[in-house]
């Protein structure tokens, strides 16, 4: 079912931060935001292992999300588990809401991965969270029009359905390579809960299974995030396992021309074309060594102006010696850049506490500005430099706030400016889509988030920054 709702939107401005700030300075203003925020959707959430979650094309912003109504899969409540797309036409100042699929599953892991196709139509691909070996996709009906979509298509993928240990599908990451005659790759978690890929040679209309990228420890699942140059190369950063099961390090490699390479461009392995592979993440280039007091999980990977990878990740430092689900009260943001010869990595900010009990490594997350890898945006409930808890002057409670960080020495030192402050709610999981116009579009979840299985009341907000 396709439903569209148009709302007139006030003129987008390009405000600077309201005033100069210093480290730790508190604002007196309740729910301070550095500009005029726009509500894109009254309810929505996403996980962070599908991309792109937001894109800008021809001055249209597309943001994918999942709707919740507070109780998991409660059929008596309208809208639960809807896969939604918000479209902002920056020129006409209108917002359109599209329901890509009704009642798929109330889980933020189901948020769609978005792609601009070679023929200028849009692709949205989505799946349930580890429930079955299949996914769905839709393609917009006309080039440049994200408000009207063709029929949904189901794609069954290799393997058998299993309860968390089978070959179930999660996370859609579509990306296109122009040098391979516009072949589209769709990386996902699939066979044996490892990263796998599909491909399409007809602008996403039909899909074939490609192979498995690598295998993890099989304690649960290795995690991977991807960055594509759009031409001939797909970079990835990966863990050994879920951080609740293993003290993760982080590893990097890239795919080009059917081969997998180390960070320095040395050939490593052939890219598998079957459900089997000999590649393990730890066979590739290690960018961070984890351990009991520094368990890593990636937040973002981008490419700089020379197409060298940049990685933002979190490290849990307080879990050593504690049973699972009893740590997670001290996370740190780290930043790593490949300089052509080696990875340069450092801690850059305090990431604060876990989002909720049961997932010690879930943080507010952060991102690298895709136009400027010297700029990051983070969500934290700790002051970035000192780690002091951020207690809101509005309600005397601790909340996750957004900060912009900038470095002028490739990550050696950072300056931080609040984007939100003194909030009465949390500000989580920021996104910045890449676009060529002036300004930066910052998108985030604002409200209450209790877990990934549908207990959230977060709005989708957007803010234009210079």
Question: pTM of the entire structure?
Answer: 0.93
**pLDDT tens figures, 410-440:** 999 999 999 999 999 999 999 999 998 888 9
Cα–Cα distance between 232 and 1 in angstroms, integer?
Answer: 36
| pLDDT for the residue numbered 71 | 62
**pLDDT tens figures, 67-125:** 997 665 566 677 889 999 999 988 788 999 999 999 999 999 999 999 999 999 999 99
Cα–Cα distance between 81 and 66 in angstroms, integer?
Answer: 6
Give the mean pLDDT of 293-299.
Answer: 97
Q: Where are the alpha helices (DSSP H) in 410-462?
A: none
97 vs 218 pLDDT, higher one: 97
Per the omega criterion (within 30 degrees of 0), is the bond before 152 cis? no
Is 2.30.30.90 the CATH number for 4-465? no
Contact 62, 112 (CB under 8 A): no
Measure Cα distances from 351 to 93, 334, 337, 347, 348 in Å. 35, 9, 19, 10, 9
Whether the predicted pLDDT of 28 surpasses 80: no
| pLDDT for the residue numbered 320 | 77
| pLDDT for the residue numbered 73 | 56
Q: Which of 175, 37, 168 is nearest to 110 (CA)?
A: 168
Domain range annotation of the chain: 4-465
DSSP lists the bridge partners of residue 149 as 140
Q: How many CB atoms lie within 10 A of CB 283?
A: 16
Give the mean pLDDT of 140-148.
Answer: 96
- Indicate the burial class of 396 (C-beta count within 10 angstroms; 0-12, 13-18, 19 or more): exposed
Share of the chain above pLDDT 70, in %: 92
């Amino acid at each position: 079912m396709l439903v569209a709702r148009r709302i007139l939107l006030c003129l987008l401005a390009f405000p600077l931060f309201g005033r100069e700030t210093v480290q730790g300075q508190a604002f007196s203003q309740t729910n301070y935001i550095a500009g005029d925020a726009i509500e894109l959707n009254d309810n929505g959430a996403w996980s962070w292992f599908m991309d792109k979650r937001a894109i800008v094309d021809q001055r249209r912003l597309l943001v994918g999300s999942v709707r919740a109504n507070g109780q998991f899969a409660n059929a008596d409540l309208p809208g639960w588990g809807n896969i939604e797309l918000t479209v902002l036409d920056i020129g006409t100042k209108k917002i359109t809401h599209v329901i890509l699929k009704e009642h798929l599953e109330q889980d933020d892991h189901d948020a769609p991965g978005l792609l601009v196709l070679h023929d200028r139509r849009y692709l949205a691909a989505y799946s349930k969270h580890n429930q079955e070996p299949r996914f769905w996709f839709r393609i917009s009906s006309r080039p440049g029009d994200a408000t009207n979509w063709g029929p949904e298509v189901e794609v069954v993928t290799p393997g058998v359905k299993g309860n968390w240990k089978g070959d179930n599908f999660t996370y859609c990451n579509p990306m296109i390579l122009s040098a391979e005659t516009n072949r589209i790759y769709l990386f996902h978690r699939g066979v044996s809960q490892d990263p796998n890929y599909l491909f399409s040679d007809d602008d996403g209309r039909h899909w074939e299974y490609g192979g498995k990228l690598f295998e993890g420890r099989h304690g649960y699942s290795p995690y991977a995030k991807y960055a594509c140059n759009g031409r001939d190369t797909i970079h990835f950063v990966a863990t050994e396992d879920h951080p609740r099961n293993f003290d993760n390090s982080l590893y990097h490699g890239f795919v080009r021309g059917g081969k997998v390479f180390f960070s320095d461009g040395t050939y490593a392995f052939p890219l598998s074309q079957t459900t089997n592979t000999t590649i393990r993440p730890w066979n590739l280039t290690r960018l961070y060594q984890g351990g009991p007091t520094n368990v890593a999980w990636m937040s973002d990977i981008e490419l700089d102006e020379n197409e060298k990878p940049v990685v933002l990740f979190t490290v849990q430092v307080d879990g050593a010696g504690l049973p699972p689900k009893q740590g997670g009260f001290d996370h740190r943001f780290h930043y790593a850049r490949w300089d052509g010869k080696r990875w340069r990595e450092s801690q850059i900010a305090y990431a604060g506490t876990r989002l909720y009990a049961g997932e010690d490594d879930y943080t507010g997350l952060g991102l690298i500005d895709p136009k400027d890898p010297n700029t990051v945006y983070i969500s934290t409930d700790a002051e970035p430099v000192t780690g002091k808890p951020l207690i809101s002057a509005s309600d005397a409670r601790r909340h996750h706030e957004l900060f912009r960080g900038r470095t002028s020495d490739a990550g050696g030192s950072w300056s931080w400016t609040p984007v939100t402050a003194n909030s009465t709610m949390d500000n989580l999981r920021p996104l910045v889509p890449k676009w060529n116009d002036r300004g930066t579009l910052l998108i985030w979840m604002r409200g209450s988030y209790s877990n990934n299985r549908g207990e959230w009341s977060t709005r989708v907000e957007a803010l234009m920054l210079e």
